[in-house]
Structure 1
């Protein structure tokens, strides 16, 4: 549910300070007459302009539904979140996977919302939507233009109160297949994918609610019946087990009236009690291991600690940061810096009922890769911590990082709403900001040493080894633990009582109309040029006191010859290391004390430097940027380590079917011996041959003022920003040369290319060709409009066919992507191995039919409504604003190009788009690439009638 170190879930959303004011509500202050009947105001929290926090009003309906409203009029959008306090921890032995299955089932329509209509309604409204499940809660959420709020409340209330009448065995079977596909894609077909579920079996006692995976065991999913599903819904999805949180551009009085109308009539479900927080203990260290389709052996060590919100949680977080939280940690120093591991980290993830202290390391095969050696070094590092102790700077660093994460998590309405919802669900109090800040700020050195001795020192652990197939000699220790099984629960739920049927006072089959379209707020941009010619574009946003600066350098992977593939990324990685003035660790430590991040990286056509900082620390952060930029250390020892890390990460990536497919498809379209046809990670041969002199030469070629452009989004004005960038005016150098792309066609169209991935649980399919280059208002833009009903939306023809109708995949899509001088059309999906041939056949059928007949009038109206209204969501966060600015800057677009796009969308004809489909979607001009288990899929492919080439 959290973490501030990892920026996940609950703590990732801590957003305030201790001076927030809560106004307790009592009979003397509450004007109940102003509220709808049956609605009770619980509390009001306000935040002064000078403070950081989330103001809100909290209400409760008569049926027990908790309602939290947060008003934020900065953007014309609203975010709606319904969180049910049910996750996999509410399941019973042998009945796993129900909560996650429900996440899927609840999108399949309800009594007044037709099949597949939930996605269609939200998408057509210009919104985005999703749902997530973890061990402790399930949430459903939508972000939409503010005029669509009532419609979202209608949708969410209908599936809360009227889901069961629309539940059919057919829907159940399709979604069960979809969940199986999700498991195959995210667990079985992914390197290390089974780590979490195997580890949890060993860490938690048999029958513990965290001992089974959220996605469920396959045999449990097979065991489930339609009645089981109905009973699970009746038990856990009542309004009294839910929190409805709404944030954004809302009228609170109107919103509350709508909430009461749509949700107030839904009767409460069975009573829900909090699950007990039973302490978890281990009798001895448990060793488990498995072989997997991986390149790098992995050691994963963990032990139980407390639970989320426990008084010792904060001190344990700090302990994890000291031992393994980045480049200044002990594990980094002893394992990564010394070359024994490619990666290592320590964390303290917490859930509602239990936390665990976990350490992991990916072994470097160049140093032997024996996990017993890594285990010994981790043990030695823990002992070193005990001798080292905790410093004042350790505490200072964490408190600054905590403040920074607090501020950065205020940048979206979704982030604030998610925070309020999670804190209410797990603690009964949305206003946890002050308490969280206080408990972290009060951690002392003595606290950290105390929790170390109480929970970590000499305590039994679970030690898991994952090694490449056939290399069991690398495991840390022979297995000494076998998970036990529990008898399968006779019923899927307990505590089920008679559920009252909903009696509605109005016609719920009538979907509410949208209000007047909100006024789109496009960022006001400024432009300037430094004295050395570097162009800067920026915008001011006052929602948070933060600065986001990105420095782009044209070139990246495209600027290196194919035989030196990987050089751009290797050089960027070296720029993240030492300078001539300070070591890597000293620079990392300086950034940690500022709560800032500076990251050099390289992509296909750009190198870039991404800087995030609190505004008050921007000057000091930029001083570190210029130090790294102008005075890179290029230390030989750093180079050998970084090169080895990149080489090992590449080889690890080569075990991932999705990476193999992406890389292989590029090679087919552009040639495997060209820079466009190779991965920016490089090849084993190219990286192995790179030298430090190559890095130095590419640095001189790439990191030049002539190649650079800057984008700035902050709460500072142009006049305030420019003096802070004065340090970059000494930057010199000409623009990096980039070779043109070869126009030659390398692969035979209408051919299936097969890459064997033995025993793969899924096949990755890519179908496509080279196509249009980028433009903002021309043929490329129109082609993506044309593709939207085919494969660009969730309810597109391709996805509804392969996912919803056939159950072949977790998701299928198509689209055009392009840059200045290249572009592709690609349709893709990961599908079950046993239906690879039929899935390709369905792709071909859909693309052919769309090319020949085009879209319908209804599909045209859908895309027009969806895309135009979605613009209200385009500029909310600094990251979104920076992306908008960069597109204008990179492609020299008019600042108001989105207005022209809207005109095109509103005026374009069905005939023009269908003509584009005829021109651009000829299936016989496309290449088909499949990555999967040859023995399983080749016989299927042979039935399709295409030539087959094995790569």
Structure 2
């Protein structure tokens, strides 16, 4: 009954946002395929599905709760549609589609959407490519114009120069995400061994480097002509819009585009292995990793749900067999099992990161994995396993409905792959109907005694740690000649002048969440707002202190204590507590940051009382058991050792030390040395100092009003203790402005560059806020000067940004990018050039107008989800802001002039006050950096 009532509540909430208005007369060539309206029988997303004469599928979902729209165009083409020798085309093409079309200039797509106050991106996977924008509702027509122009009129704007720049950008992305990252090449090596030679999933989505080098602009033209027709696309729109007007716009902008070649679904060929394949690789890592994969089915196969549940039982968190047998006793730092599914194939994915303190042998870890599988066969499936999986499935579904983007993404995915936009009810039923017998059946069919691929990733020079000697060498399919057309397809003719950019509608009325304040009996201040879109509660507890409450020589103590708070209590074990929360569909997470510790609680409203009871137990009766402490400490130490291989981590930690020194908590984070010295008594002492009522403030976003929710927070009213004063911070160093510091990362494919200095603390309406406005055209947006220079013009990086970051008592200015190692010195020169020029010449009139439009209109997107609302509330609470501070910010944005912004640039962007840090291969980058004429120091 509870579940039924919950389903009814969600459906009612969604129905309240949806409209069942019938369009009396459809535009010519548009037909209504089906209409789905929420009824009180289950959880669903109301929609209407239409089809244009050219085959474009259009899915509309109305949600009037916020003044925004989310637009998604999904093309049913991913890397799986490529052929051997031409890998990476789908992903490369995703980049190319942002480079302008016949009526949209190069780099204009990002500029137009950002100036409209929106956000945008595109993603590619094995099976589809999608492009999406979230914008204020008055900008919808403009988005449709942009998307239609690149669907129908992309080829006339395609040039060799654009192709070369984006190929360099993709190579930079690969260097940053694959080649320069620990375990970065694991997935592509594993897929080669797992899938048959030439299988659509046997090559990486980002492509093999040699294939990218081999590609030319004609290949891109052919790929577009083959796959980017309207009949291979789904346009999904969700949010606040008028359906009749929207359909008219859709027909106007997309209706003229001719149908493309017909597209058939790819065959779902099962993956079979004749024996277990062992492969291995050495990498710049600290933790040996074992990965095991069993072939299973494909997305929405009748066995998928049971296999998902099997994965949860084996390795889905702290109640799983993998956690008990590998992590609990410290043999692995992490371990888990999942069952990821794609259109053509799924796999049972198992992994474990071995603990070097226990020897790090992957042979031993593989043995424990096999013992866990055997234990499952003996143990079987419990009633709790089934109930937990069903509750979690329903909770994930409900939380996923909190944003328009989440709903649109679900509709677009299901329509693209299964021809039915809303499948929520069917999915819930799929998981709800799984039986114990189903789980055991799929275990026997796909896992028990079946061959797998077993991959070992070990630190360089430590091949003795691999699980088993390699017995398989993957083979790549020979490049094949493309059979697709190579001639450029003629662009669609148009019935109107597409060069005219649509004007925007009247600005939507932006509603700031209506806030309430209250206090618990012990004086804890509570601030909240009501959000009735889903029957959920988001409760956040902030405790002043965090890392800054800790002496420098005990850095890491706040984080280690938070980890211990996530463990057992005096009454129940970690596993028992996790099980109790999972049965409720709730989560409780303790964390820590620079100046605060946090407690994050998510719950379905109906299960809040039981969730609060568990929170009370965890907060007031922590177990602080020695075994938990030793495991958490060891995991933290191994994690720190692992991070020493991460270039970004090396850059962040060394840059903080340059700015704040080694005697100030802001400059010193957790280290192997400090964490090694921590004791359980240290944790207990910090708990007493930090987790006190006097340090706490509460934020809550719920479908309950103040009178309903405050009594449910009563367990927190029992909390005692006065506020703990923050110790005096250590002295700050004198910055050696204009100095280049190098941190050696031998063999690095990229260099991480950071330039910056200490700056002003946070101020919502003062110099800090105005400095953020000043920086926006320099490095605060995609089409900022820095990013357009280093990414779009030079092809040096995947992305470059700059910005101010502020707290109550301090702040920083940082410009940052990961760049190709061979252009490290040239990239730094461009950073310096852009910052100097902006500091000396200031903002242009066009940039000032762009900044005003982008930031002011973007406010329409700020308060949609419960967590966005919670973030807004926390800013008011933390910085003691006036309730109308956003109105003051809006006035500043509208009235601030070039003279004031230029002065801010002049005062805050002096490079002589900034230090420059580069993390990269010293042997190759140092000569070029020294040639720039700045002092160069190497950090040991």
Q: For this structure pair, what is the TM-score category when the shorter chain's length is used for normalisation?
A: over 0.9
- Deviation, structure 1 residue 685: 0.7
Query: Which of 18, 21, 38 is the aligned partner of 2:29?
Result: 38
Structure 2: distance between partners of 1:712 and 1:120 = 36
Q: CA deviation at 1:737?
A: 2.1
The answer as to 2:550 corresponding to 1:550 is no
Residue 316 (structure 2) pairs with residue 328 (structure 1) = no
Matched with 2:586 is 596
Match of 1:751 in 2: 739
Measured in 2, the distance between the counterparts of 1:117 and 1:689 equals 54
The match for 2:772 among 779, 784, 802 is 784
The match for 2:806 is: 818
Q: Against the structure 1 CA distance between its residues 32 and 941, is the aligned structure 2 distance closer, same or farther, given a 3 Å change threshold? A: closer
Judge conservation of contact 1:769–1:926 (CA < 8 Å) in 2: yes
Cα distance in structure 2, aligned partners of 1:163 and 1:591: 51
Residue deviations 1:898-931, cap 9 Å, x none?
0100000000001100010000000111000000
Hey, what's the Cα distance between the residues in 1 that align with 2:175 and 2:497?
42
**Cα distance in 1 for residues equivalent to 2:784 and 2:442:** 53
2:725 is aligned with 1:737: yes
State the alpha-carbon separation in 2 of the partners of residues 512 and 666 from structure 1.
Answer: 46
1:666 to 644, 648, 656: 656
1:514 to 486, 504, 520: 504
User: Cα deviations across residues 625-649 of structure 1 (Å, max 9, x unaligned)?
Assistant: 1100000000011100010011111
Match in the other structure for 1:576: 566
2: CA distance between counterparts of 1:615 and 1:106?
43
1:644 counterpart residue number: 634
**Which ranges of 4 or more aligned residues in structure 1 deviate by more than 6 Å?**
15-21, 29-33, 495-498
- How many residue pairs match? The answer is 927
**What's 1:699 paired with?**
687
Q: Measured at CA, do residues 497 and 841 of structure 1 come closer, stay the same or move farther in structure 2, by a change above 3 Å?
A: closer
Q: CA–CA distance in 1 between the matches of 2:266 and 2:9? A: 29
Answering whether residue 445 of structure 2 is matched by residue 457 of structure 1, we say no
Match of 1:765 among 753, 760, 764: 753
* 1:256-284 Cα deviation digits (max 9, x unpaired): 00000000000010000000000100011
**RMSD, matched Cα:** 1.6
Give the C-alpha shift of residue 16 in structure 1.
7.7
How many angstroms does 1:653 deviate by?
A: 1.1
* 8 A contact 1:17–1:53 mirrored in 2: no
1:18–1:438: 8 Å Cα contact kept in structure 2? no
Q: SS state of the match for residue 173, structure 1? A: helix
Q: Answer with 731-740 or 79-88: which moved more.
A: 731-740
Distance 2:698 2:22 in 1: 53
Q: Using the TM superposition, give the Cα deviation of residue 749 of structure 1 relative to its aligned residue in structure 2, in angstroms.
A: 1.1
| 1:474-485 correspondence runs (5 A) | 474-485=465-476
Contact 2:10–2:398 (Cα < 8 Å) also in 1: no
Single out whichever of 734-743 and 57-66 deviates more from structure 2. 734-743
Find the counterpart in structure 1 of residue 3 from structure 2.
Answer: none
Are 2:218 and 2:486, in contact at CA under 8 Å, matched by a contact in 1? no
Residue matched to 1:156: 147
**Partner of 2:556 in structure 1?**
566
Map of 2:229 onto structure 1:
238
Deviation of the 1:20 alpha carbon: 8.5
Counterpart check, 1:276 vs 2:264? no
CA distance in 2, matches of 1:673, 1:194: 38
Matches within 5 A, 1:798-809: 798-809=786-797
The equivalent residue for 1:635 is 625
Equivalence for 2:763: 775
User: Deviation at 1:481?
Assistant: 1.0
- Kindly provide the CA deviation profile for residues 300-356 of structure 1, in whole angstroms up to 9, marking residues without a partner as x: 100110000000000000000000000000000000001100000000000000000
Partner of 2:16: none
Quote the Cα distance in structure 2 between the aligned partners of 1:525 and 1:16.
28
Q: 1:20 to 1:611 in 2, by over 3 A?
A: closer
User: Aligned partners of 1:684, 1:296: CA distance in 2, in Å?
Assistant: 15
Is the 8 Å Cα contact of residues 23 and 243 (structure 2) preserved in structure 1? Answer: no
Do 1:17 and 1:434's aligned partners in 2 also have CA atoms closer than 8 Å? no
Q: Which residue of structure 1 aligns with residue 171 of structure 2?
A: 180
The one-character-per-residue Cα deviations of 1:603-633 (angstroms, maximum 9, x if unpaired) are 1111000000000001100111110000000
Report the equivalent of 2:65.
74
Q: Answer whether contact 1:304 1:355 (CA < 8 A) is retained.
A: yes
Residues 635-669 of structure 1 show CA distances to partners (whole Å, capped at 9, x for unaligned) of 01110001001111111111100011000100000
Q: Which residue of 2 aligns with 1:24?
A: none
SS of match in other structure, 1:314: helix
Asked whether 1:110 is paired with 2:101, we answer yes
After superposition, the Cα gap between the structure-2 partners of 1:812 and 1:77, relative to the gap in structure 1 and judged at 3 Å, is same
Q: Is the 8 A contact 1:269 1:499 kept in 2?
A: no
1:368 aligns with 2:356: no
Q: Does 1:875 align with 2:863?
A: yes
Preserved contact between residue 552 and residue 709 of structure 1 (Cα < 8 Å): yes
In 2, the alpha carbon distance for the partners of 1:311 and 1:866 equals 47
For residues 77-123 of structure 1, give each alpha carbon's deviation from its aligned partner in whole angstroms, at most 9, with x where no partner exists.
00000000000000000100000001100000000000100000000
Please report the TM-score for the alignment, with normalisation by the length of structure 1: 0.96
Give the aligned partner of residue 343 of structure 2. Answer: 352
Matched, 1:470 2:458: no
Say if 2:248 is the partner of 1:257: yes
CA offsets 1:8-44 (integer angstroms, 9 cap, x no match): xxxxxxx9899999xxxxxxx9999710000010000
Q: Deviation digits for residues 864-905 of structure 1, max 9, x if unmatched?
A: 000000000000000100000000000000111101000000
The answer as to whether partners of 1:577 and 1:638 remain within 8 angstroms in 2 is yes
Partner residue of 1:838 out of 800, 818, 826:
826
Aligned 8 A contact 1:546 1:613 in 2? yes
1:686 and 2:674 matched = yes
Residue 498 of structure 1, CA deviation: 8.7
2:705 matched residue in structure 1:
717
What TM-score does the superposition give when structure 2 sets the normalisation length?
Answer: 0.97
Alpha carbons of structure 1 residues 78 and 265: separation in structure 2 relative to 1, 3 Å: same
Structure 2 counterparts to residues 176-255 of structure 1, below 5 A: 176-255=167-246
2:600 aligned partner: 610
Superposed CA deviations along residues 801-827 of structure 1, whole A, max 9, x for unmatched, are 000000000000000000000100000
Report the Cα distance in structure 2 between the residues aligned to 1:30 and 1:516, rounded to whole angstroms: 22
Which residue of the partner structure matches residue 784 of structure 2?
796
Query: Does the Cα contact within 8 Å between 1:18 and 1:437 map onto a contact in 2?
Result: no
Give unmatched runs, 5+ long, in structure 1: 1-14, 22-28
1:52 is displaced (CA, Å) by 2.6
Q: Distance in 2 between matches of 1:189 and 1:226?
A: 28
Alignment partner, residue 514 of structure 2: 524
